Structure 1
Amino acid sequence: MQETHYKLPHITLSALVQGEAGLPPVLALHGWLDNAASFRALARHLPQVHLIAVDFAGHGFSQHRPKGVPYYLWDNVSDIMALADHLGLERFHLLGHSMGASVCSLIASLFPERVLSVSLIDGVAPLTDEPGDLPKLMALAMQQYQRVAQKRQVGYSRFEDAIEARMQGRFPLPDQVSAVALLKRALTMRDQRWYWHTDPRLRLASILRLSNAQVQSLLKHIQAPVLVCLAENGIATEVTYSLIKLVPNHRIDVKAGQHHFHMKNETAAQLACLINEHITTATR
């Protein structure tokens, strides 16, 4: 995959790109605190498409949002649509994992005329908050934003220590190879120590989330065919399955593995077969 940078009017986004421009365009969107490298295993089995795996703002090598500007999920939608326009993509396929899957669902709902197909990996829709909880949660999030500037990173003396920390994170990775791929786009050496260059504000609570009713309304407006690939031991709940049922044209496939099962070579090959078939059918 080739390292690429796109200077948009409001932000510069980085991406890993594979395949010729004449092939079916696929915008691949990663999960929270991951980056474009999470699609490397899948990319090896997707030679028939023009794959553009994007680093979201604040992730990987993409630019951070300005100081004082929160990270909202729908701003990622604006970024990706600006990128599609920049690339001259009138219509395109979407591939998303976790948070990236949520962004894919939002794009497909808001801009149905632009989306040919959607492939979602262990994720479907944005997290929601109940309206009654809004005052408490919004106040908490704003307080976090005020304090984040005062925190200092300690860093790691060895790259291996960062790998171990990532392997033991909230969502374990399949192997060290996967961890190394992600960390090469997330760490910077400074003063003989390794520091995260992922924007620390991404770890803060969201100042504002959509309500469950709003998310349900959005999912009902998706027109493109949707393939939902879930991990047997992933993050899907009963709520996830109930939300999937709202998508008019969908099918579900469940594979063994955990949340990052798409980064494991064996599972990646199985998922790629499903995704290739889904894209081919939608392109006809």
Structure 2
Amino acid sequence: MTVQVEEIRLNLPHIEMAAHLYGPEDGHPVIALHGWLDNAATFTRLAPLLPGLRILALDFAGHGYSAHRPAGGNYLLWENVLDVLLVAQAMGWERFSLLGHSMGAIVSVMLAAAMPERVERLALIDGLMPYTGEADQAPEKLGEALRAQLALPNKRKPVYADVQLAVNARMKGVGSVSREAAEILARRGLMPVAGGYTWRSDSRLTLASPVRLTRAHAVAFLRKISCPVSLVLAEQGMLHHEPNIQTLLQGLPFDVHTLAGGHHLHLDDDTGARAVADCFKPFFASA
């Protein structure tokens, strides 16, 4: 099957963002948001299986082909929320839906809770709320983050002699993926350098966050969501075995689907992508 996908650039007031654009121009507008250290290619298998949608799969700032934030900038979650709003503005989309995986799902939740008038529907894949930290931990966490930032100039990205070595490393990374998935992500995520290849992603993305939401903050965002939500949990994913996740979900009016597969089940193989699509197609069709 030949899939039409357009590579685009969006010049926001503060940064240039890159994206893949799928589907008919008059399709229902959907902004698709990838996970931490991934890129827009994470939706390569899934997006073509969701007909009738105009899907803009974004590279978050510092990822893929999007620009890095300027010196002194940071990558806090709410900075990404603003970027998504500005992307929607650039596309001329007053109202839109969000399709988010992992970190992209978290950003989607925050935006839908904060700006309910803008978001029609949420389709979430193995992501819901950020890692949290309580108030008594804040001074130590800030100290750790500041020390890491001071040490950043001496930090060097790994360089791989060939692409397959980078693929092997990505297979074993956070949210381990299949070889095919790693190759898809690597095609957009690698760049040539002296001695081989390294990742395009900004090194600052690996730094500890200087401040985290408390659990009460995170739950408040979830409870504030007013639009329909469809959540896919992966049986071998990051959420399924999270302590208290089932208790938390019982109090939320979300449609929850538990599917076989790992954290990247929508990208690891065609079977996983079809299973996720089968959950989301009727969800978007009822919009």
TM-score, normalised to structure 1, is 0.95
Task: Report the CA distance shift for 1:170/1:49 in structure 2 as closer, same or farther (over 3 A).
Answer: same
Match 1:230 to one of 225, 230, 233: 233
1:234–1:258: 8 Å Cα contact kept in structure 2? yes
How many Å separate the matches in 2 of 1:168 and 1:277? 34
Aligned twin of 2:280:
275
Is structure 2 residue 23 aligned with structure 1 residue 19?
Answer: yes
Counterpart residue identity of residue 178, structure 1: A
Deviates more, 1:121-130 or 1:152-161: 152-161
The equivalent residue for 1:54 is 58
Identity of aligned residues (%): 39
2:192 — aligned with what?
189
Question: Secondary structure in 1 aligned to 2:7?
Answer: strand
For 1:112 and 1:21, locate their aligned partners in 2 and report how far apart those are by CA, in whole Å.
Answer: 24
User: Quick check: 1:138–1:208 contact (8 Å CA) kept in 2?
Assistant: yes
Q: In 2, distance between residues paired with 1:32 and 1:223?
A: 26
Structure 2 CA distance, aligned partners of 1:145 and 1:77?
Answer: 23
Does structure 1 conserve the Cα–Cα contact (< 8 Å) formed by 2:24 and 2:52? no
Report the Cα offset of residue 162 of structure 1: 0.5
Q: 1:54 to 1:246 in 2, by over 3 A?
A: farther
- Of residues 165, 184, 209, the one that matches 2:212 is 209
Q: Which runs of 5+ in 1 are unaligned?
A: none
Structure 2 residue identity aligned to 1:67: A
Letter of the structure 2 residue corresponding to residue 250 of structure 1: F
Shift of 1:280: 1.4
- Contact 1:216–1:246 under 8 Å retained in 2: no
Q: Is the 8 A contact 2:9 2:18 kept in 1?
A: yes
Partner of 2:67: 63
Q: Any idea what the Cα deviations from partners look like across 1:181-221, whole Å, max 9, x if unmatched? A: 10111111122410111001111111111111111111111
In 2, Cα distance between the equivalents of 1:242 and 1:78?
30
1:241 aligned residue (246, 255, 264): 246
- The 1:57–1:242 alpha-carbon spacing in structure 2 relative to 1, beyond 3 Å, is farther
Q: Distance in 2 between matches of 1:85 and 1:158?
A: 40
Partners in 2 of 1:153 and 1:242 — Cα distance? 40
Superposed displacement of residue 276, structure 1 = 1.3
Cα distance in 1 for residues equivalent to 2:31 and 2:73: 25
- Alignment root-mean-square deviation, CA: 1.2
CA distance in 2, matches of 1:71, 1:243: 27
User: Which residue of 261, 270, 273 corresponds with 1:265?
Assistant: 270
Q: CA deviation at 1:133?
A: 0.3
Q: Tell me which of 179, 182, 194 is aligned to 2:182.
A: 179
Find 1:124's aligned residue among 116, 128, 134. 128
2:138 paired residue among 126, 134, 138: 134
Task: Give 1:66 shift.
Answer: 1.1
Matched residues, number:
280
Take 2:145 and 2:102, find their aligned partners in 1: how far apart are those partners? Answer: 22
